[in-house]
Amino acid sequence: MGCGRVGAMLAWMLDREGHEVTIMDIDPNAFRFLPPDFKGIPIVGNGIDEDDLRRAGIETADAFVAATRGDNRNVMACQIAKHIYGVPKVVCRIFDPIREDLYRRLGLVTISPTVVSAKLLKEALEQ
């Protein structure tokens, strides 16, 4: 869910490894980030709308990743995937480190690009 730079690159990487990938974005123009050789399925839809999620195949998905710009949108979509549809693997991108900490404690697998980039930048400075 979310076809920005990160979502598109992740989708492409998974696609190259032979996974069946569906990528969803609310904006049809977002799919321009996908390379021409991407074999997965782009779907225009809202990741926090149950009907759209079902259309994208959430009921049979093995994994779900939310990588839109909106933390709350990602959190809500991941909770729907995990708690309503029982998707086995769910990963949620949350920029705000405090919110990330809270939802990690509530059982979501979370990645905060803010924390990760700050750490990497600091490491690069220290080398």
Partner 1 sequence: MYIIIVGGGKVGYYLARTLINEGHEVLVIEQDPRKCERIADELGTVVLRGDGCEASTLAEAGASRADMLIAVTGDDEDNLVACQVAKVRFKVPRTIARINNPKNERIFKRLGIDVTVSATNVILEHIEHEVPTHPLTRLLELRDLGLEIVEVRIPPTSPVVGKRLADVKLPSPSVLAAIISRGRGAVIPNADTVFQAHDEVLAVVSPDIEAEFRRVLTGS
Instruction: Give the interface with partner 1 as residue ranges (CB under 8 A).
Output: 48-51, 70-73, 75-76, 79-80, 83-84, 96, 98-99, 102, 105-106
Q: How far is the CB of 48 from partner 1 (least distance, A)?
A: 6
The smaller minimum CB distance to partner 1, of residues 13 and 106, is found at 106
Q: How far is the CB of 98 from partner 1 (least distance, A)?
A: 5
Q: How far is the CB of 115 from partner 1 (least distance, A)?
A: 15
Q: How far is the CB of 103 from partner 1 (least distance, A)?
A: 8
The smaller minimum CB distance to partner 1, of residues 55 and 99, is found at 99
CA angle 95, 101, 105 (to 5 degrees): 135
- Burial class of residue 22 in the structure, from the number of CB atoms within 10 Å of its CB (0-12 exposed, 13-18 middle, 19+ buried): middle
The smaller minimum CB distance to partner 1, of residues 21 and 47, is found at 47
According to DSSP, the residues that pair with 92 across neighbouring strands are 66, 110
The smaller minimum CB distance to partner 1, of residues 96 and 115, is found at 96
